Amino acid sequence: MKAIKIAVLSFALFSNLALADVSPLTVVKDYMSAWNAHDSAKAAQYLASDVVYYDAANGTPVNGKANAEKDVIGAFIKAVPDLTWKMTSKPVYDHDTIAFRWEFSGKNSGEWGGSPATNNPIKFEGVSYITVNNGKITWQGDYYDSKKLDEELKPQAK
């Protein structure tokens, strides 16, 4: 019985150390890689269950991992199945919060926000602020030129 208790305590200790060893920057880079693999479920694994996802263009936060997976990550991947999300600046961070500039690009070949695909190429820039605690993203704020994106999503005149 004593050996089992030691094994359980060791597992718990090493599991917590493993989470502590994962830097917030590593979490963010792995999260972005999952987006770029077009895998919303994998990307959502990096989110805390009570994550708050704030998109300045919408103005209303999305609360919770399931909602963020479906209404943000999944919606973007559905609308732009070939999306690429990349950092374009060296990230700046202080303990648990990371800020960086990015570029998002791809082709709008899927429905977006109830609108049919335009098949237009899109490319816009923005900034994200992401807070990571215990290896999970607890808050993400995205700020970008939504007017430019809206223009890129307009159907082309025939």
- What residue ranges do the domains of the chain occupy? 24-153
pLDDT at 104 over 90: yes
Which run of H or E residues covers position 9? helix 2-21
Average pLDDT for 65-89: 97
Model confidence at 6, pLDDT cuts 50, 70, 90, reads low
For the domain made up of 24-153, the CATH class stated in words is: alpha beta
Number of separate helices (H) and strands (E) present in the chain: 6, 7
Residue among 141, 136, 131, 126 at smallest CA distance from 53: 141
- Token code pair at residue 3: 């050996």
- The pLDDT score that the predictor gives to residue 21 is 67
Between CA 14 and CA 107 the distance in angstroms is 43
Nearest to 101 by CA among 128, 132, 123: 128
Rounded mean pLDDT of the chain?
89
